[in-house]
Structure 1
C-alpha cells in the first residue's frame, strides 16, 4: 500500500510518466533505488511475493495510467447539485393577485371557495315579458324540420352507398392481399431453410 501511495504521489506532484513509474518500481523491487521507502519492509518479501506485487500494480495502476493522469491533471466542470427555488406567497385579499390555478387544488375546494358564482340573469318585469311575447310572430315561433334526404330517390341513395362501400372494401381487400403475400413469402423462406437443414 505504501508503494502504491508513493507511485500515486509521484504521479500527482512530480507528474511522473508511465516509464518513470515503472523504472521507480523496478529500482524499489531490486532494492537498489533511492531510500524513499523503508528497506525493512522490502526485506520481508520473497521473489514470488514481489512478482505478485508487481502484477497487482500492473493490473491496478499501470493498466489505467492514462485515466489517473486525466484524473489529476484535467480540469473538470463544476457539477451543480442543487438549484434555488423561489416560493411566492399569496398576498392578502386587499392586494390584487391572480387566483391560483385550479389544477393545483382539488375541485371540491375550488368549487366551494374560489369558483366565481354565475352572474344572475337579468330581471325583466312582467310588462316587458308580455311585450316581447306579443312581438314574436307565429312564423318565427314554429320550427320546421326539413329532411335533408327528401330530394333524393331510393335508387340514388343505393348507388351512392354502393360506390362508397366498393371503394372502402377494395382498399381493405388490397391491403389484406398484400399482407397475405408477405406472410406467404416468409413461410416459403422458412420452408426452404428447413429443407436445406
Structure 2
C-alpha cells in the first residue's frame, strides 16, 4: 500500500478550493454589481427591485422591508469604496444571514457564530500565505461586523416576525347599495327637499329638461300668450248686474262676519288666560 506525501503546493491547492466554496454562488453577479455602482439612490432601488423580482411593494410589507435591507446594505458598501468583488461578497453575506434566519431558523447566537466563521475565511488571516485570498482587510472586516450589528442583529426579532408571523389581510372599503327613488309613478314617494341635496336630486333622480323639452315649453307658452287676448274678450265681467250699493252691502257683511269671528277667538283666549292666572293666584294664596 503506497502513501502519497503531501506537499506545500497540494495543501495550498486544497485550501484554495475550500476558500472558493465560501459564499458561493454570489447573490448578485459581477455584471449586476457593476450596473448598480453607476446608479444613484433611486436607480439602485429600482435595479435591485428588478433583480430581486419584487412586484408588490405598495401592498406587501415583507417585500418592502427586504428591499430596504438590501438597498441600505449596498449603499453602505458603496460608501466604503468596496471593489466589485467585495461588494459581491458583502451582498451575498447579507443574503446568507437572511437565509439562515428564514430557512434554517437560526437563533441570533447561532447566526452570529456563523458570521464569525465566515469572516475568519474571507477576512484577514495572517496564517494564510497567499495575500489575494484575503478579500477584506482588518479595517473593513471590523466595519462589516459593526454594520451588521446595528442592522440585522439589532432588529433580529423584527425580521423573525416578518418571516414567521402570518398577517391578516385588511380589506379597506365597504360596499353600499343605494336605492334610487323612481319618480315614474312608482309606489315610493318623492324625497323631501331637506332629505337630499339639490345637486344629487337634479342629477340622478329628476334631471333637468333637455333642449327639446325646453323648446316645446317655450312654444307652448307663446301659444298660450297668443290665445290669451281672444279668451279675455270672451270672458264677461263678473260684476255685471250689480250696483255699487249691492257691492258695499256685501263687503260690509263680509267684514262684519270676519271681525265677529276674530273677536270671538280673542275673547276665548282672554278667558283661558284669565282662568290660568286665577289658578296661579289661588295656589299662591294657599302657599
TM-score, normalised with respect to structure 1: 0.48
TM-score, normalised with respect to structure 2: 0.35
